[in-house]
Amino acid sequence: MNETSPFMVFSGTNSRYLAERICASLNCPLGNMNITHFADGEFAVSYEESIRGAIVFLVQSTFPNSDNFMELLLMIDAAKRASAKSIVAVIPYFGWARQDRKDKPRVSIGAKLVADLLSVAGIDRLITMDLHADQIQGFFDVPVDHLYASSVFIPYIESLNLGDNLVMASPDVGGSKRAGAYAKYFDVPLVLCNKTREKANVVASMQVIGDVKDKDVILIDDIVDTAGTITKAANLMMENGAHSVRAIASHCVMSDPASFRIQESQLEEMVFTDSIPYSKKCDKVKQLSIADIFAETIRRVVCNESISSQYII
């Protein structure tokens, strides 16, 4: 461990791009760690430098879910066994968050199971962003710093200069609280979409609640997976007379055929954070970096300063 630094930052395999940006913002080196893969798909984690007595920050979003999550658990276990002072899991995208309750008989609550596994592995703190359901914080018995992508989205929306025509919208009733916070901040109307599903990832029908005629609409969501809901909502807004429709969402899951749907939709642009990397081709997709937000949060955790004072909404 560097004797002048009370903390160290390490990264899992698929979040290295973000960890490097975080370290650049913190002006610190990314820790040296080795992940060995075996022929059968198993892997092992080892730290290639001393972490004894250090506050260790482990950056890893859980996408695609299983391998990255297992890698994170091994990173936590190895840090605990190497006598780290404390272990902070930095999970910009928290997988399994959509499984936050029993919505029908005989189903698992995946988010609670993930919280239990992280706790048993040995984390002392969690830093995450825009959980699908706020109550997931209560699944943990350690402090949870829940960050908001509004810190990057609000300046971007302001840069669009849409003026009095701006309207905030939610692609479903469940996201009304999130979209409502943006509408309140900008002092503009809120429009909702009411949808019914045939099954997961399949929207049966949708209706617009509110007036969008001649308005510049911004759809607010937390996760875009197959993009069925967000594109159907955008097309419906345009059918109802909207002047333009954009969408912002925190997490760029973008499972196929999401890129094709967005490219073919009436959306003017689809804006994400870089909590998940996006390597596919879609001219309408734009990503804003959250590295500075996470870097500042890490600095404040180390210095025992307020986290919430950096929130906008």
User: Using CA atoms, how far apart are residues 88 and 61, in angstroms rounded to an integer?
Assistant: 13
Contact indicator for 235, 261 with CB cutoff of 8 Å: no
For the record, the structure tokens of 134 come out as: 């706020």
Q: Please report where in the chains the tokens 């973000």 appear, as a residue.
A: 18
User: Please, is 43 exposed, middle or buried when counting C-beta atoms within 10 Å of its C-beta (0-12, 13-18, 19+)?
Assistant: middle
- Tell me which residue of 135, 182, 134, 168 sits closest to 247, measured CA to CA: 168
For the record, the structure tokens of 301 come out as: 């955790």
User: Using CA atoms, how far apart are residues 127 and 56, in angstroms rounded to an integer?
Assistant: 12
For the record, the structure tokens of 174 come out as: 């469940």
For the record, the structure tokens of 66 come out as: 């299983």
- Residue among 102, 195, 213, 232 flagged as catalytic: 195
End-to-end CA distance of the chain: 37
- Tell me which residue of 182, 147, 183 sits closest to 294, measured CA to CA: 147
286 tagged catalytic: no
Give catalytic residue positions: 195
